[in-house]
Amino acid sequence: MSTIPTTSAAELEFQRWMKERVSHFEWFAEKMLPQTGIGAKRLVGAMRYSLLGGGKRIRPLLCYAAGAVSGAPEEVLDRAALALEMIHSYSLVHDDMPSMDNDTLRRGRATTHVRYGEAMAMLAGDALQTEAFTVLSSPSVPPEAAQRLVQTLARAAGVWGMCGGQALDLEMVGQKPGAAELSRMQAMKTGAMIMAAVLMGAQSGIWTALGDQAKAGLAAYADALGVAFQVVDDILDCTQDTMTLGKTAGKDAKDDKPTWVSLLGLDGAKARAKALEEDAEKALQLLAADPAVPAGAEARLREIALYVVRRTH
C-alpha cells in the first residue's frame, strides 16, 4: 500500500513565506509599472503583459532571502527585486523573438511578440531594461547602496553576463561544447542574474558589515545555484510536456542546442544537479560561520536552493 508524502512544518512555513513574498512583489511591481492609461498605451500594455504574466519569481525571492544576511530594509529590497525582474523579463521578451529562439509560448500563454507584434515587443524589452535603473536610482535608496546595486545589475546584464552568455548560446547551436564551455556560457546567460539577485539582496543592507567569508559564501552559493537552475531546466525540457512547463517542451533538442542532458545524458545531468545542490549547501555553511551573519539568516537561501533543484516545472 502506497503512502502519501507528508509535508513538514518547515516546508509549509517556507511555502507560506514564498507565497507572501511573491504576492508582495506582485503588488509592488503592479504599483511601480507605468499604468495603461498613460503615455504610449500599447507599449505600456506590452511591458505590463511581459512582467506581470506570472513566473516563479526566483530572482526576487533570492533577493528578499539574501536581504536577511545584511538586515536590508524592505523598501530597498523591493526596488532591487523589481529591477532584477525587469531585466529578466526584458531578456525573455527578446529571447523569444524570431531572431533568437523564435518561441510562441511563455508561462502558458502567447509570447509578447505574438501578442503585441515584434516591434512593440522589442520596445517593451528596451523600456523594461531602462526602467530597471530608474527604479534603483530612487531617492529612497541610499546613494552608496544605489551605486553598488546599479553596478552589480549592469554588469550581470551586459556583455560579461546575460547578454554575452546569450551571444555564446547562439554561437553554440549545432556545436558540441565540452563541460567547461557549457558551464561558462550558462554561468553568463543564466548564472550572472542569479548571482546578481543574491548579491543585490545583501547589498541592499549593510554590505560593508559583512566579512570576506560571508561575501565568499554568498558568491559560491549563487554560483552553484545558477548552474543548478540551468541543469534542471535542461532536464525538464526533455522530461516534461508543454502544458506542465508553460513553454514549448523539447525545443532545445529540436533546435540542436547543447544542454547538460545532451552532454552528460539524463542520469548524468541529474547527478550534476545533486552535486550542485551539495555545493550550495557547503557555501551556506561557510556563510553561516561568519560572525557578521545573524544566526539562521541563511535559512531561506537553503530552502530556495532545494526548491530550485527539486522543482518539476
Assign 1 a pLDDT band (cuts: 50, 70, 90).
Answer: very low
Question: For position 269, what pLDDT does the model report?
Answer: 93
Domain boundaries, the chain: 19-310
Q: What is the mean pLDDT of residues 34-53?
A: 90
Q: Domain 19-310, what architecture?
A: Orthogonal Bundle (1.10)
Residues 76, 73: Cα–Cα separation, whole Å: 6
pTM (two decimals): 0.93
Question: For position 244, what pLDDT does the model report?
Answer: 75
> 251 or 157: which carries more pLDDT confidence?
157
Q: What is the mean pLDDT of residues 167-179?
A: 89
Question: For position 72, what pLDDT does the model report?
Answer: 97
Question: For position 4, what pLDDT does the model report?
Answer: 52
Assign 164 a pLDDT band (cuts: 50, 70, 90).
Answer: very high
Q: What is the mean pLDDT of residues 72-87?
A: 98
Residues 122, 228: Cα–Cα separation, whole Å: 29
Question: For position 220, what pLDDT does the model report?
Answer: 97
